[in-house]
Structure 1
């Protein structure tokens, strides 16, 4: 019985570390992340639900739409130095059955409408959306019966 409690405590501590790290990332959002989140939150973009700083394995996705299996990553000026690490991160996320869209911070800030259009198209063209879900969305109905 003692080992089950230790495992549970260890899992609880790990979850708390993930929660705290995600909170820190949200608190220290870049201007581009804040702007994009303004458009993605509360199902504002095509009725799709996005989450910020969503843990996927050892990584935190900047934004994730679970129903469309889509991850959106924003890259700043440091991207050139981090290209290899980001490629590894993208491979891992794709192995979890997500598609990854990457945008430069300046794209989000200066071409916001074009970025939003690419995101909504990627969501709408997701192979994970069922025809029933897609038809309900076209009619403007929330299939869960509530907003979350």
Structure 2
């Protein structure tokens, strides 16, 4: 079975690199659990360009995006929804967690993520 091609804007690569080097505290916390196939054996990338967007975390094998929404998302519901719907058109599932929840309940976030992944594996 061939890999599905996911388009991306190459002009976003330098910005993605910059974002990786300037991650939020919540992103770093979650990344420490996802990196190096530590979480259920799945390979995640961070700050991954997809289409004309950069997502926080992406697992190609699961076709899963994880977004950590901080205060910059507070008044961008419509924009975030439109972005999410565009990404989902590529067959990608998007899961969102609030920044504060990642900071205050990382274990709960990981349990929910584990459940969500078990649903995707079915």
For structure 1, the residue ranges without an aligned partner over 5 or more in a row are: 1-13, 130-148
Query: RMSD over aligned Cα, in angstroms?
Result: 1.4
- Paired residues in the alignment total 114
Aligned counterparts of 1:126 and 1:83: Cα–Cα separation in 2: 25
Normalising by structure 1, we get a TM-score of 0.72
More helix by percentage: 1
Question: Are 2:116 and 1:96 aligned?
Answer: no
Structure showing greater radius of gyration is: 1
**Which residue is equivalent to 2:33?**
39
Instruction: Report the Cα offset of residue 125 of structure 1.
Output: 2.1
Normalising by structure 2, we get a TM-score of 0.87
Question: Are 2:73 and 1:57 aligned?
Answer: no
Aligned counterparts of 1:18 and 1:83: Cα–Cα separation in 2: 22
Where relative contact order (Cα < 8 A, 6+ residues apart) is larger, the structure is 2
Matched position secondary structure for 2:54: strand
**Which residue is equivalent to 1:9?**
none
Structure 1 residue runs of 4 or more that deviate by more than 4 Å after TM superposition: none
2:116 corresponds to which of 113, 122, 140: 122
